[in-house]
Amino acid sequence: MSHPIPPGTRDVLPDEMLELRELTEGLRSTFGNAGYGEVWTPTLEYEETLRTGDAGGAGAGYRLFDEKGEVLALRSDMTIPIARVVATRLGETEPPLRLCYFGHAYRAAERRTAELREFLQGGIELIGLPGAQGEAEVIALTEDALDRAGLRRHRVGVGDGTLFDRLLDDADVPEEARGELVGCLSARDLVGLERRVDLLGLSAATRNRLVELPSLRGGAEVLERAGGEAVDNLRELHELLAERGAADRVIFDLGLLRQLGYYTGPVFEVYDPAVGFALGGGGRYDELIGRFGRPLVACGMALDVGRVHLAQAAEERLR
């Protein structure tokens, strides 16, 4: 008798669980000391609610019917439920709001190799603080939390989820040609991107900008090489991060796209050389809470606690 568990799920035994709890408590304590109060939301939400937050993302989750025939879904992240809470239960609380969470999120199928279907997320949401000011706080706090967890080689990739769309607008690329280009960039297929851009018959300058900007990746010098106003917001963010002493871990990555539909500006991904997948990610989502009836800007970051644990364990082996 083998009694399997569903693919993409895990049993966690005591030795590992002890380490995961210590890690979680450490992250919570760092977030708490920075003024981020923890919230919990139901594992099951009405699918309609998740769809309000992200029309595209809701389909990726486990769905079921309740006894009244309503469609429920297992949350696929905590940001949408927290947006709901900020607009409803916390509707009277003056911004800025600083919230954190630790909870499992679910995907009905693996999007990529090695991705679990049930995974523990720990994250922060900073609501009501606009622009680079908010983003710098979120990135610096994430770096700090990972420092305290014992990581020493982590990096935060920072891009702008709207940049490529803006470049496509500037280049007057027709709507029907855009899906493939975005697909290439999502898959980090810069060769494919170049080949497809070349078919559009653009001027050399426009063509170069579409192909070269998304390939820029590195320190603050990347923002200089990008030129123009397109990345002014990232330049301001870099300045604020430098003031906080939090710029050294940042890699500007102008080709970075995040798959969630609610990002409206800078997006983040967290990396560690010990783990082949992002430890987490986030970004600015200035319109999401408004979809629940309370127009408030916000940004946040979610860490995959299991992956942070892998990086932590690798770091300890190096000592």
The residues that touch its own copies, with contacts defined as CB under 8 A, are 1-6, 9-15, 17-18, 20-21, 25, 28, 37-46, 49, 52, 62-64, 66-67, 70, 72, 74, 81, 84-85, 87-90, 99, 104, 106, 108-109, 117-118, 292-293
The residues, ordered by sequence, that sit 6+ positions from 243 with a Cβ below 8 Å of its Cβ are 136
User: Packing angle between helix 232-243 and helix 131-148, nearest 10 degrees?
Assistant: 50
CA–CA gap between residue 61 and residue 164 (Å, rounded): 27
Residue 141, exposed/middle/buried by CB under 10 A (0-12, 13-18, 19+)? buried
Q: Is 203 left (phi over 0), alpha (psi -120 to 50) or beta?
A: beta
Residues 6+ apart with CB under 8 A from 266: 132, 135, 158, 159, 160, 161, 233, 234, 237, 283, 284, 299
Query: Which secondary-structure segment (H or E) carries 106?
Result: strand 97-106
Q: How far is the CB of 48 from its own copies (least distance, A)?
A: 9
If the CB atoms of residues 83 and 132 are measured against its own copies, the closer one turns out to be: 83
- CB nearer its own copies, residue 109 or residue 187: 109
Taking the complex as a whole, the smallest distance from the CB of residue 44 to its own copies amounts, in Å, to 5
| Nearest approach, Cβ of residue 181 and its own copies (Å) | 30
| Shortest Å, Cβ 293 to its own copies | 4
Pairing, β 266-272 against β 298-304: unpaired
Cβ count near 42 (within 10 Å): 12
Least CB distance to its own copies at residue 302 (A) = 17
* Least CB distance to its own copies at residue 64 (A): 4
Task: For its own copies, give the closer residue by CB, 75 or 209.
Answer: 75
In sequence order, what are the beta bridge partners of 74? 44
Of 116 and 136, which has the nearer Cβ to its own copies? 116
Q: 106 or 252: whose CB is closer to its own copies?
A: 106
Q: Are 266 and 250 in contact (CB under 8 A)?
A: no
Q: Let me know: does 286 contact 298? Beta carbons within 8 Å.
A: yes
Which amino acid would we find at residue 298? Answer: A
Q: Which is nearer to its own copies, 75 or 238 (CB)?
A: 75
CB of 262 to its own copies, least distance (A): 15
Residue number with CB closer to its own copies (1 or 191):
1
